[in-house]
């Protein structure tokens, strides 16, 4: 597994990755940022491990594991609708190799963490390999992750990482369903941490649209033989 690029990415880019997980926090976050930063499709993950699955948007083929680039902010967004289960190590290696290749400044991993009790607002936690980043996130009133078990692509990235700046943002969610409110909290943090100048409020207003859209996308990725029930709006991938 590797990441293939079609266009050049400037040195010192920030990579933001979000894979399907608890509350689909990572997927919703990257989907929203792609739309609102007008990020362009510049590459994709090449693999043989997943079943053949494709998405079509506005008459064009869109890869289910895409690489998008916001040149203005020098941000790379890794967005996928495919589950990473049992492939976390390979995906993490592909991301780290890609990061080294483009000489990225940092990797930011976005995840959801489960809460055993219902939440009115999503609590935010962080873990970073960079002390300055940790201090900045602490000054933003985020909670450091002190005791926890991390799984998925984020876990593999942390364990395989050797010399790259890696910051993990965790939004606490009590929902097994797509949680747009939790993702909005992540975007609010990213806006301040990276300086995106992105308004997260539209995500709250469009929460149901995003959630329905992603539920359909993920259901189709699991069973691509049943696309007939999807409306035009539900089939849209980005935008």
**In this predicted structure, what is the pLDDT of residue 227?**
46
* All domains of the chain in start order, with CATH: 2-235 (3.40.50.10900)
Q: pLDDT tens, 193-207?
A: 998 888 777 776 766
Confidence of residue 162 (pLDDT cuts 50, 70, 90): confident
Token code pair at residue 189: 């943090």
- pLDDT above 70 (res 158): yes
Confidence of residue 220 (pLDDT cuts 50, 70, 90): low
Whole-model pTM: value is 0.82
- pLDDT above 50 (res 77): yes
């Amino acid at each position: 597994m590797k990441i293939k690029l079609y266009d050049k990415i400037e040195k010192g880019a920030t990579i933001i990755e979000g894979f399907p997980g608890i509350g689909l926090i990572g997927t919703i976050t990257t989907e929203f940022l792609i739309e609102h930063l007008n990020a362009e499709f510049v590459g994709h993950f090449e693999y043989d491990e997943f079943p053949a699955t494709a998405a079509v948007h506005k008459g064009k083929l869109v890869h289910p594991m895409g690489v998008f680039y916001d040149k203005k902010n020098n941000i790379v967004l890794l967005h996928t609708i495919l589950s990473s289960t049992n492939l976390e190590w390979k995906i993490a290696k592909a991301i780290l190799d890609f990061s080294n290749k483009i000489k990225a400044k940092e990797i930011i991993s976005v995840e959801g963490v489960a809460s055993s009790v219902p939440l009115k607002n999503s609590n935010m936690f962080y873990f970073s390999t960079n002390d300055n980043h940790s201090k900045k996130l602490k000054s933003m009133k985020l909670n450091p992750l002190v005791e926890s078990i991390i799984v998925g692509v984020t876990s593999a990235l942390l364990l395989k990482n050797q010399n790259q700046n890696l910051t993990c943002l965790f939004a606490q969610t009590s929902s097994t369903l797509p949680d747009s409110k939790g993702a909005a909290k992540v975007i609010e943090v990213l806006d301040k941490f990276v300086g995106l100048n992105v308004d997260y409020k539209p995500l709250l207003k469009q929460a149901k649209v995003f959630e329905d859209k992603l539920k359909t996308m993920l259901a189709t990725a699991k069973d691509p033989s049943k696309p007939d029930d999807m409306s035009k709006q539900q089939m849209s991938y980005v935008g």
